[in-house]
Structure 1
Amino acid sequence: MAKKGSTVLIVDDQGELRNMVKKMLRQMDLFDAYVEARDGEDAWERLTAGPFDLVICDVDMPRLDGMGLMKRCQGDPELREVPFLVISGDRQQGAVAVAAELGAYSYVVKPFSFMTLRDRVEEVFERRNSPEHLRFRAAQRLKEQGRLQEALEIIRAMEGSGQPLKGKWLNLKGEIFWEMNELGQAADCFEKAIKGSMLFVAGYKNYASIQQELGHRDKAIDALLKADEISPRDAERKLSLGKLLLEEGQIHEGKAFMEQAIRQSSPEERQMTQVKVAEAFLEAECFEEAEKLYSGVLQSSPEDLQLYNRLGIALRRQGKYAEAVRYYNQALGIHPDNPIIYYNLGVLYAQAKDRYRAIEFLSRALKISPNFKEAQQALAQIQGGA
């Protein structure tokens, strides 16, 4: 049960639902303070200002949705352990799985009754205060502190209790082995985690990452496809999957996942996602796609030097020299003393067989930065070929 003096945060963009939940909670007489937030951003401000014993949060909200709020909390050591009870109109297993992946303790589907909400709230506190959960959190904290052997001792004690380890324990054990560079043992733990729970998205994510590190891209792709099937709302996972498919030469499939990653990213993360996708396209030599994304992002960030450089490379690799030069000149108007721009112009003119201008711009790069090794090598190669 909730302890005396407990505070609950109710997050929903609809005032009527917030009032209904607050009324139900008052009837339960479990909390002393009730705080409301109209969306994820409002809730984030309140969470960072003071401690809460429970967050009851809707999924679909403007600005920052419930999943985004939980993801942000997971990235903050001070808020990682705040329990979330998620409210949603989606009863699909995938929605429940992604909420659990982001740290939700329980999940309730709208519309719900007083009894249902009360049971879920009590379930959250019973789970939070259970000996098994407290041991798991202790092992997690030891891992975060780098005390890996001590964390393993807690896990091995759980194994010795006679009960098979749950997926989250196996996943944590795998993460510890991974940090110890025991990749084979880590992979085994992640594989057992997903075999024990076919909806354990975090296990698939880790299994994919370690298989990629082991050089087994086919297994990584299979795991990410399964995770995406269970939980199709994760833009970052779609980005990883798209990149792997592009690297494997599955261009059409890779592009499809990249497009989905951009569509599903939150408004605050969309531009960064577009840049990541553009980088993946550039690496996969999908230069036209990279050009479109870089030029689009550049319109909203016209002073970003990196965007000019990357767009120039995408254009140069397509033989669009005049357009590339135009963008590089725009960049020089903003950053007139940047050696990388001069270097890229030198490389462009070398590729265009304009030896005189290639030497001119590479020399300018070296005048600004005399130890610029790439420029030194490019200039020596051009002059040596005279």
Structure 2
Amino acid sequence: MLDDAERAYKKAILLEAKFTRAYDGLADVYAKKGDAGKSIQAMQDAISKSPRNASRQTKLGKVLLEQGMVKEAKAAFESAVKTEPSNMSMQSEIAESFLAKDMDDEAVVLFQSVLRATPKDVHVYNRLGIAYRKQGKFQEAIEEYKKALTVDPGDENLYYNLGRAYMEAKKIAETIAQFNKALEIYPDFKEAREILDKIRNLK
């Protein structure tokens, strides 16, 4: 099946060299075959034919990042952002890719950019807080979770993450207070209860 699809896409490209969707399809076929090099080349060929497609540039960046080609991935992501600078959803998506690869500095920059445009996005505050925690910047993480809670004070996960940040900052009283708030909202919050039990057993 994959070989048939590969032949069909190649034939389509021979008939119409600017048929970018054929390059996209070919990239997907190569990815399924486990040939990252050819998949990347097909995506780059598509971009050369249609350089103003931010979604395609983002997809290329993700594949490059997975292959450890960090410099090239950053270049693809930068092109995507330049192409659609107001696409905050895309910037969040790229930030998540960086965060997953422990490229926390890059993730922080993009999450901050998104929040300047969408200052009531609770999810992004939460993700920025996680990025700060991974950097060991616990006070900064605490501030982001607090900002998120001003937007949505009824989110038990925010109290839990705030509690985690306090715990990592070794502020035990504040940790307990936040986990208790999470449990007030959601009494079956297993993770919060387990951590509270561990803290109490240490006393």
| TM-score strictly above 0.5 | yes
Residue 192 (structure 1) shift: 4.2
Matched AA of 2:63: L
| Per-residue Cα deviation, 1:305-354 (whole angstroms, up to 9, x for no partner) | 11110111111111111111112112222222211111211222343444
Deviates further, 351-360 or 330-339:
351-360
Contact preservation (8 Å) 1:359, 1:382: no
Equivalent residue, structure 1, for 2:101: 284
The answer on 1:297 being equivalent to 2:104 is no
Q: 1:228 to 1:311 in 2, by over 3 A?
A: same
Equivalent residue, structure 2, for 1:218: 37
Equivalent residue, structure 2, for 1:207: 26
Equivalent residue, structure 1, for 2:59: 240
Q: Which of 144, 147, 159 is residue 327 of structure 1 equivalent to?
A: 144
CA distance in 1, matches of 2:150, 2:88: 24
Counterpart secondary structure, 1:310: helix
Where in structure 2 are the equivalents of 1:61-100 lying within 5 Å? none
CA distance in 1, matches of 2:79, 2:105: 18
Q: 1:202 to 1:348 in 2, by over 3 A?
A: same
Contact preservation (8 Å) 2:160, 2:179: yes
CA distance in 2, matches of 1:287, 1:317: 7
| Per-residue Cα deviation, 1:277-306 (whole angstroms, up to 9, x for no partner) | 222222222211111121122122221111
Residue 237 (structure 1) shift: 0.5
The answer on 1:337 being equivalent to 2:159 is no
| Per-residue Cα deviation, 1:161-189 (whole angstroms, up to 9, x for no partner) | xxxxxxxxxxxxxxxxxxxxx65644453
Equivalent residue, structure 2, for 1:231: 50
Q: Which of 130, 145, 163 is residue 313 of structure 1 equivalent to?
A: 130
Counterpart secondary structure, 1:249: coil
Q: 1:205 to 1:376 in 2, by over 3 A?
A: farther
Equivalent residue, structure 1, for 2:75: 256
Residue 215 (structure 1) shift: 4.3
Residue 197 (structure 1) shift: 4.3
CA distance in 1, matches of 2:200, 2:27: 47
Q: 1:252 to 1:384 in 2, by over 3 A?
A: farther
State the structure with bigger RCO (CA 8 A, min sep 6), 1 or 2.
2
CA distance in 2, matches of 1:361, 1:212: 45
Contact preservation (8 Å) 2:138, 2:168: no
Residue 196 (structure 1) shift: 5.1
Contact preservation (8 Å) 2:139, 2:169: no
Aligned length: 202
Residue 195 (structure 1) shift: 5.2
Counterpart secondary structure, 2:61: helix
CA distance in 2, matches of 1:371, 1:183: 47
Could you say what the CA RMSD is over the residues aligned between the two structures, in angstroms?
2.7
Q: 1:207 to 1:367 in 2, by over 3 A?
A: farther
Q: 1:201 to 1:339 in 2, by over 3 A?
A: same
Matched AA of 1:230: K
Normalising by structure 2, we get a TM-score of: 0.83
| Per-residue Cα deviation, 1:123-158 (whole angstroms, up to 9, x for no partner) | xxxxxxxxxxxxxxxxxxxxxxxxxxxxxxxxxxxx
Contact preservation (8 Å) 1:246, 1:254: yes
Q: 1:185 to 1:344 in 2, by over 3 A?
A: farther
Higher-helix-fraction structure: 2
Contact preservation (8 Å) 1:205, 1:223: yes
Contact preservation (8 Å) 1:355, 1:382: no
Note the residue ranges of structure 2 that are not aligned, 5 or more in a row. none
Q: Which has the larger radius of gyration?
A: 1
Residue 190 (structure 1) shift: 3.1
CA distance in 1, matches of 2:32, 2:187: 37
Residue 239 (structure 1) shift: 0.6
Normalising by structure 1, we get a TM-score of: 0.47
Deviates further, 231-240 or 273-282:
273-282
Higher-strand-fraction structure: 1
CA distance in 1, matches of 2:13, 2:183: 54
